[in-house]
Copies of this chain bind each other. A is one copy, B any other.
Amino acid sequence: MVIKYELLKKDPSSMARLGRITTPHSIIDTPCFMPVGTQGTVKSLTPEQVEATSAQIILGNTYHLWTQPGHKTVEEAGGLHKFMNWNKSILTDSGGFQVFSLAKMRDIKEEGVTFKHHKNGSKLFLSPELSIEIQNSLGSDIMMSFDECPPYPSTREYMEKSVERTIRWAKRGFEANKNKDTQGLFGIIQGGEYEDIRIHCCEELTKIPFDGYSIGGLSVGEPKDIQNKVLSFTTPHLPEDKPRYLMGVGSPGAILDAVERGIDMFDCVLPTRIARHGCAMTSSGRKILKNQVYEKDYTPLDKECDCYCCKNYTKAYLHHLVKADEMLASTLISIHNIQFLENLMKGIRESIKNDTFKEFKKSVYDKYGLDNKEQDF
């Protein structure tokens, strides 16, 4: 297998796992968080700044890179790693989520999906084969199968049909991969909140020798308890010797809940998106830097953090940068927010190692008051 997963330790009190993924580009300790670099850049950061947060893998978006600059342009550049000057691992999504969340007017057929570009309205067509062809051009370490991501809620009848198609698409995508020796491929488990459909999807997709499995269709507006319920009944049907990736989840409470249910990998635009709006994730909760209370606060953003931002700048300076609409605000807060999550993952891994995961989870929940919130951070 191109992607090697080693299960190092199982938490005795939950489904949490300590592991290690080896890709052609880096070794990734799991559970891990992947910053998102949608358009071939983690917004407002150089690759060196991303690496300094200790991220070992980032995510690139197939839909965006396909439409701009075009996958052939990236391929001719020598692949996405070289194009964007990032030498650690890259995971690419399939484009499926964006087709169903961003694009206007879509027409789903067995062959694939016809839809309109989210900005210029031009007509586009994406299929399981084309998704893999694009990802082969990008040269990511880990690719995703092209799937349908149905909205929440969807009827059982629709979900059954959709998941059958997603399974057929997964098989077609697997066959289409031209770089089996250099690029890994994950299958995506769909099925909404329906236990039997999720399990059926697991059973069918685990017949295909994917390098890992993603849980899709969560964090699409469903209540938090449904997300946890779905994970609880799904991960037991996934192989122990392959990594499990919960797509689009990046808030600390949801990460802890998912790790507890056997998830190894996470990605989310949350840390960089809220940073661009002047919001920081800190050990004392979310901070809105534009708030006047920080005008003369000459202390670091987060006294428990050792990131570049917290070591060198004060809240007063960040407040000023946000008010003055300076780009450096996005850079500094993005660095902090990513490192905040990377540090959380480090704490999680440490706690699994020490058989203290449950205590660690409770301490973070208590500290952030997460039990009282539907959406933490």
Contact = CB atoms under 8 A, between A and B. Distances in A.
Interface residues of A, number: 37
A40 B326 CA distance: 9
B84 A317 contact: yes
A335 to B, nearest CB: 9
A31 B168 CA distance: 68
A331 interface: yes
A39 interface: yes
Given A83-B317, A313-B85, A43 B73 contact: no
A78 to B, nearest CB: 8
A73 B324 contact: no
Contacts of A320: 39-40, 68-69, 73, 83
B298 A45 contact: no
A77 interface: yes
Copies of this protein chain in the complex = 2
A359 to B, nearest CB: 37
Contact of A296 (B45, B76, B312): B76
A77 B316 contact: yes
B84 A46 contact: no
Interface string A59-74: 0000010001100010
A41 B326 contact: yes
Contact of A44 (B43, B298, B328): B328
A295 B69 contact: yes
A271 to B, nearest CB: 15
A257 B332 CA distance: 39
A39 B326 contact: yes
A4 interface: no
B312 A39 contact: no
A136 interface: no
A298 B68 contact: no
A41 B328 contact: yes
A75 to B, nearest CB: 11
B298 A69 contact: no
B328 A330 contact: no
B330 A327 contact: yes
Contacts of A64: 324
Contacts of A321: 39-41
Nearest to A331: B46
Nearest to A41: B328
A39 B69 contact: no
Nearest to A330: B327
The 5 closest A-B pairs by CB, nearest first: A69-B320, A44-B327, A39-B324, A41-B328, A85-B312
12 contacts: A39-B324, A40-B320, A44-B327, A45-B328, A46-B308, A68-B324, A69-B323, A73-B316, A76-B298, A77-B298, A77-B314, A83-B320
